[in-house]
Structure 1
Amino acid sequence: MTVSTDLRLTAADLDRYLDLVGDGDEREAVGLAMSLLDAGVPAQRIIVDLIGGTQARVGELWASNEWGVAKEHSATAVSERVLAAVAARTDVPAGRGRITLACVDGEWHGLPARMLAELLRLDGWRVDFLGASVPGRHLITHLHQTGPDAVALSCMIPTRLPRAHAAITACRAAGVPVIAGGRGFGPHGRYAQLLGADAWAATGEEAVTRLASDWPPEYVADDPGTFLGDEEYTHLVRSRPQLIATAMGRLPAVFPGAHHYDQAQIDATAEDLGHVADFLAAALYVGDAEIFTGFVEWTAEVLRTRGVPVGALRVGLRLIRDQLVDFPAALRMIDEGVAAIAD
């Protein structure tokens, strides 16, 4: 196996690693990472640049329809094993303090959070990594049992923001400050502050720096937090099953091709309509249409790469819109979404 002989990763290292995880070759992928460690490449660079950088490329390959879901999942599983192997080769005394790290309830993208956990350990923190989709009540129980210095919360998808808000509020009520991270908190972490987080970090390395140099933040123990989620949000969440069922029932009348859908296509369409409702609800919760329009634009591009007419997405948006005629904010957001993908 050929690896770089200096302290930096090369393009060849990155390409080789992508090929290995794409082939599901766990043994060789671990071997490459270990060889890089032996050559003097810092573990942080392997975590951030090799594993993290490759995961970004994997996501792009899936979005462009070059990789299927199974291959993407297999690659992620290999990177998880590589990360574990790197962690097993490094030992740093925990002298800074103790941090609880978790993905918010409903957030299943656990690898970015696990990468942060290892970066924090390398910086001298004792880290309790609770994993993906941690229910709020269990998170708070853990805080009372362990008394950490901080909580790091990961949210990669904005549909989980209401649950992130509940978790942040509960952590602060328990007297533990929160640092938030992940794309779900919006550009520059705009929703993290809105939801009451004490700090936000754009990357794992930024979180490590923030916790080492600018922590703890000023904390107000009796801060009640911000109330979010109005009548429109509440109605949408409560009526979600009926919205989807009604839209599916009306679909064949406005999109004749649906008459010929098999069960797999029916299930996929219902799931897509559920995503529409969930992103609309998240946008209503924080009062920012960009969450919804961004999702619509991204979905349209994914559909195009898969040869699905974008008109099908516009039909779905209208089917949801027709059921929300008494809710002006929701109508405005859907209209902005339709306009965003207009040919």
Structure 2
Amino acid sequence: MSHPTVPAELPDQLWEAVADGDEHTAVDIVHRALADGADEETLLLEVIAPVQRRIGTEWAADRISVAQEHAATAINERVVGFLAHARPEGERRAPDRGRVTVSCIDGEWHAFPARLVTEVLRLRGWRVDYLGAQTPTAHLIAHLHCTNPDAVLLSGSIPTHLPTAHSAITACQAIGVPVLAGGRAFGPDGRRARALGADEWAADARGAAAVLEAGLAQPCPTAIRQATDDLPHLDDQEYTMVAQSRPQLVKQTLVDLEDRFPAVRGYGDAQRERTVEDIAHIVDFLATALYLDEPDVFTAFLTWTADILEARHVPARSLTAGLDILAVQLRDFPRTVRLLHAGTAALRDHPVPGIRA
């Protein structure tokens, strides 16, 4: 399917309006592009989506604040809403392909990618039930029982939600509904989606549309699989032990950091809270890497965090100290210790000031 091109400067123009908090100008830019012959799908995927990625990049580089990032995302979402209703009812394509459900993993707040997929599928003639952010699996399954869709499209951006995604995938398949997974959490090549038993994976909205148009086989309803059926390494219980020990690990790591870096003892409440959050994220990504038996989940998070910290003028070397402390606490878990050592090596080799020995 070919689509009209848009002026190369259009994403920059939209970014300027969004970053400035100017919703009216943002909508006007898209409205004019429609009047000039651009179609909705092109605007969604080649203008609005790049602007959303830029919002994340600017936040990571500490060039916009969390509040600005939220405000920009909210405006971008309203631009999508405008596009969804830009055509009068009589000019919209009636749903003639089938019915699907688009949902985020329980706990996943990043709903923008799922919304883009939803609007692209509607443009292509699908009836879409869009459930939005962090849909509890039990509510998702209840919805599927009521609607009997052709497929579920499950979206996730943060890898730490993948164990929950695994449960949702098996629950959907247990009632005979195939699952198409997508989003950054599942990796750039879909290997995580396949490891978790998803029926298909798509890299983007057009890929998802192509998979649906080709057709998804309906799974035979069966008893819900156990996690170890797909991921036999979970038999060692290391994931379970680390996940269940999270509060104690975070607390003890903070205490040990205070001993190793006396300056930490003088942190104010806000600094202390952020430190606790950082440690908790490290433990969460460590647990997820154990679940998938995939070191890249952990090392990619660490190097990304190092960049974030340095952009905010926080010495990234504190990450390696945290990993050392966790390795001592978890010394009886060989797979966990290997992951922690891999994280330390990744940080050592990462070209960020303050990390190299």
For normalisation by structure 2, the TM-score amounts to 0.92
Given residue 152 of structure 1, which amino acid in structure 2 is its aligned partner? L
Q: Deviations over 1:87-115 (max 9, x none)?
A: 01142210001001100001100011011
Q: 1:12 Cα shift?
A: 2.0
SS at 1:322 equivalent? helix
Q: Where does residue 14 of structure 2 map in the other structure?
A: 17
Q: Where does residue 169 of structure 1 map in the other structure?
A: 170
Q: Deviations over 1:117-174 (max 9, x none)?
A: 0000000000000000000000000000111111000011110010000000000001
Misfit runs of 4+, over 6 Å: none
Q: Where does residue 205 of structure 2 map in the other structure?
A: 204
SS at 1:46 equivalent? helix
8 Å CA contact retained: 2:174, 2:220: no
Within 5 Å, give how 1:37-76 maps onto structure 2: 37-76=34-73
Given residue 139 of structure 1, which amino acid in structure 2 is its aligned partner? L
Q: Where does residue 157 of structure 2 map in the other structure?
A: 156
Within 5 Å, give how 1:35-184 maps onto structure 2: 35-90=32-87, 91-184=92-185
CA distance in 2, matches of 1:33, 1:51: 9
8 Å CA contact retained: 1:324, 1:330: yes
SS at 2:278 equivalent? helix
Q: 1:219 Cα shift?
A: 3.0
Task: Tell whether 2:253 aligns with 1:256.
Answer: no
Task: Tell whether 2:222 aligns with 1:222.
Answer: yes
8 Å CA contact retained: 2:4, 2:42: no
Given residue 173 of structure 1, which amino acid in structure 2 is its aligned partner? A
SS at 2:189 equivalent? helix
SS at 1:100 equivalent? strand
CA distance in 2, matches of 1:53, 1:25: 18
Q: Deviations over 1:229-255 (max 9, x none)?
A: 341100011110111011112221111
Q: Deviations over 1:305-335 (max 9, x none)?
A: 1111111111122222221011011110011
RMSD (CA atoms): 1.4
Q: 1:220 Cα shift?
A: 4.1
Q: Deviations over 1:31-54 (max 9, x none)?
A: 111111111101001100111011
CA distance in 2, matches of 1:224, 1:241: 30
8 Å CA contact retained: 1:7, 1:39: no
Q: 1:7 Cα shift?
A: 4.2
CA distance in 2, matches of 1:179, 1:94: 20
Q: 1:222 Cα shift?
A: 3.2
Give the aligned length: 337
SS at 2:127 equivalent? strand
SS at 1:58 equivalent? helix
For normalisation by structure 1, the TM-score amounts to 0.95
Q: Structure 1's 260 and 243: CA in aligned 2 closer, same or farther, altered over 3 A?
A: same
Q: Where does residue 3 of structure 1 map in the other structure?
A: none
CA distance in 2, matches of 1:207, 1:288: 25
Which is worse superposed, 227-236 or 150-159? 227-236
8 Å CA contact retained: 1:58, 1:72: yes
Q: Deviations over 1:224-281 (max 9, x none)?
A: 6452434110001111011101111222111122022111010000000010011011
SS at 1:114 equivalent? helix
Give the unaligned 5+ runs of structure 1: 1-5
8 Å CA contact retained: 1:255, 1:315: no
2:251 aligned to which of 240, 245, 256: 245
Task: Tell whether 2:273 aligns with 1:267.
Answer: yes
Q: Where does residue 298 of structure 2 map in the other structure?
A: 292
Q: Where does residue 333 of structure 1 map in the other structure?
A: 339
Q: Where does residue 28 of structure 1 map in the other structure?
A: 25
Q: 1:207 Cα shift?
A: 0.5
Given residue 124 of structure 1, which amino acid in structure 2 is its aligned partner? G
CA distance in 1, matches of 2:68, 2:133: 21
Task: Tell whether 2:312 aligns with 1:306.
Answer: yes
Given residue 84 of structure 1, which amino acid in structure 2 is its aligned partner? G
Q: 1:189 Cα shift?
A: 0.8
Given residue 139 of structure 2, which amino acid in structure 1 is its aligned partner? H
8 Å CA contact retained: 1:104, 1:135: yes
CA distance in 2, matches of 1:12, 1:286: 41
